[in-house]
Structure 1
Amino acid sequence: MEQDGSDREGARDRRVLLRRLGWTVLAVGVAATAVLVSPLVVPFPPPTPVTPPPSSTTPPSVVTTPVLVMPPVVTLSAAASPGTPPAAEPPPRAPVTSSPPPAFQSITVHAADPANLRTGARVIECASCRGGSRVGYIGGPNLLAVRVAAVPTAGTRTLTIVYETEEPRTLKVAVNDGTTQTRQLAGAASLLIPATTTLEVFVPAGDSWIRFFNDTGSAPDINEIVLS
């Protein structure tokens, strides 16, 4: 029994010794590693600051272009030879005046003129009428169209109508296809005594037709017209 106890104590002492020996070897290895590795770790040097180059304070050079000054040009006038008379001045121009347009010449046309158009209307002999006749039976579908030829210029003209009637009648007047104007005419209460009436009409240049009618009743007889 005593022998077994001594063996166990000897084994325990050996384990303790081996454990201490292991820790010692480990410490020696770590120390050797630190000594060998530390020279291999080389720290990087800090970056060197970059200093900008000093700014140049010298102003840029200015290139001056020489200016070439031209001498003035002297014009030599030819001296007039003695005895040469001076040039005569041109005569003044006469003022240009525009002549006024010629005055409109009045145009007279008889109602019974063969160039006129009569639709249903008839020429009536009348010794007391201008030209010895007149045109009657105007009204309803019947009408008289007086031709005015070669009007030199267009414009508003005065139309004088010579007519005859025994009683008040309505007369309608139109130039070509223009606006119709209406007149209520009493006349001289006789088909043998001429009467007149006037109105303003626009007449174009050239040839025109002046129509006399009354589509709602009888119109007075037409003797003559004057365009002025």
Structure 2
Amino acid sequence: MAPAPPSGSPAFPEHRARTARTLPVLDERITHCRACPRLVEWREETARVKRRAFAGEDYWGRPVPGFGPSDARLAIIGLAPAAHGANRTGRMFTGDRSGDVLYAALHAEGLASQPTSVRRDDGLELYGVRITAPVHCAPPANKPTPGERDTCRPWLAAELTLLRPTVRAVVVLGAFGWQAALPALTAAGWEVPRPRPVFGHGAHTVLTSATASDLHLFGCYHVSQQNTFTGRLTPAMLRAVLRDAARAAGLR
């Protein structure tokens, strides 16, 4: 068997994701990835310099794995960790205002044990839901490049493959996540129709598979401050999508 490529190789995600047999193993491997030099430099520099409000904290400063049970029926796909949110705390959508909005809505819909997500050891549990992203490192200006997205894709494809026995619905937050999720879903065994479904808030399509159950795919505006502060995405709008997805996933 050929040796695994080094963590800084562009081949690292493909090889290490493909050979992961469980989600805990996949999550652990993700945290060691250094395949995208620009992202590695940015996430580590941010962890060294820190934001003044968090100057006394030890930043995570590594790729952030998915969060939630291995037998989730509903997956939520975002964009990438925030520099002073998940890049600081080490958990998806934890420690920033986007997470405040998302977890409050999940709690209101009975999908999370509490409405806040402050740090990795705060006791938060998700009920039948797993949260992940197409890019696992915090990017400058919250904008991964297409190349970084593609290099990171094997992690998402492997995660969806490992969730395939139980997952029945996916909510994608934002157009970037939508475009990244479609090829990952194809790689995980679902058939994406042609022409490809177009992203929009409230978009809904059903993907079929020869080897897995049908998958309900939902679009939702991202929970970024740009959307939530302007009213483009309200808590009621977010809850409505989560409610429909939970029902499609059999969590209602």
TM value normalised by structure 1 = 0.23
Tell me which protein shows more strand as a share of its residues: 1
Tell me which protein shows more helix as a share of its residues: 2
Bigger Cα Rg:
1
